[in-house]
Amino acid sequence: MYVRYLKTIRYHVNNETSKLTDNERITKTICMKLINHPLSKFLIAPLSGKRYIKNEPLNIFVVLDDRRVSITNHVYHYDVTLPQREFDRLSLMFDNKTESIRQSFETDMKSQIVHSLSTILTKVSNS
């Protein structure tokens, strides 16, 4: 019951289902495709909470900030404000992607440490 109350406050849920405009739908799709693109790079600003997506091969730069999505390249710049629910979904998708990158990075670091320890053990054993 309390969760339903919180959702009502956060998303302003009413009896009608609000539909996205064409610009909102296209913006959301662009962000989702960029998040899943293998050559996209991600950055989170810890103080402001802004999320950045940069895709050099496509020359697209995206900033997610407080329901506003800014899409920029060398020719155009768009600012689209998304409904809170859609922005939260994109943020979660972004956060999950950066978390998987972090886990991979941490695994690589730990695997190098194990390799270094085995090298040290070999050196100690041979001397």
Convert the pLDDT of each residue in 78-119 to its tens digit.
Answer: 999 999 999 999 999 999 999 999 999 999 888 877 777 888
Residue 17 identity (one-letter amino acid): T
pLDDT, mean of residues 46-57: 96
Contacts of 60 (CB under 8 A, 6+ apart): 30, 34, 53, 54, 71, 72, 73
- Examine the pLDDT at 11 and tell me if it is beyond 80: no
pTM of the model: 0.76
Cβ–Cβ < 8 Å for 27, 81: no
Q: Which amino acid is at 39?
A: L
Q: Is the dihedral of CA 96, 102, 103, 108 positive or negative?
A: positive
Predicted local confidence at residue 15, as pLDDT: 40
Residue extents of the structural domains in the chain: 21-126
Which residues, in sequence order, are CB contacts of 20 under 8 Å at separation 6+?
Answer: 28, 82, 83, 86
Q: Please determine, for residue 47, whether its predicted confidence score (pLDDT) is greater than 70.
A: yes
